[in-house]
Amino acid sequence: MQVIEDQVIKFSKDNAPCYTAQPGEVLLFKTQDCFAGRIPSEDVTMKDLNFSYGFTNPAAGPVYVEGAEPGDVLVVDIYDIVVADQASSPPTTTAGRCSRPRTIAARSSPSRAAWPTSTA
C-alpha cells in the first residue's frame, strides 16, 4: 500500500502530483491538523505561532490517477479514518468544532464519494 504524506497548503490545478495511482489501487493518506502540527501541547497558543494562513489547513496529495481524463468522474472508497489522540480548534462559534454539532461514526463498510475531474 502506498502511503501519501506529501502536503499542500493551497488547492491549485498547478500543484504537481506526488504520486501516480492505478485505478483501484488502495492508498493511505497521512494528514496533519489545521495548524500543521504547530500546536503540540496546551502550553502553545495562537500567540506563540506568529499566525498566518501560509501554513494552515494542509492536505495530503495531490495524487494523479492513471487514465483519468478531464470530465471523468472518480469514485473514492474511504475505508477508515483514524484521528490523533490530540487536536486543537479555534474557540469561536464561527469556526472549528464549536461552529456546529458533528458526529464521527465508525463504519462497517466503506464510505463512497465521487468527484468529477476538472475540465479546466
Q: What is the pLDDT of residues 18-52, one digit of tens each?
A: 999 999 999 999 888 877 777 777 788 777 776 66
Q: Are strands 59-60 and 7-8 parallel, antiparallel or unpaired?
A: antiparallel
Q: What is the pLDDT of residues 82-93, one digit of tens each?
A: 877 776 666 655
As a whole number, the mean pLDDT across the chain is 76
CB-based burial label for 45 (10 Å; 0-12, 13-18, 19+): exposed
Q: Are strands 2-4 and 27-29 parallel, antiparallel or unpaired?
A: parallel
Q: Which residues, 6+ apart, have CB-to-CB distance to 50 below 8 Å?
A: none
Cell of 47: 500567540
Distance between CA 69 and CA 75 in Å, rounded?
Answer: 13
* Across 63-80, average pLDDT: 91
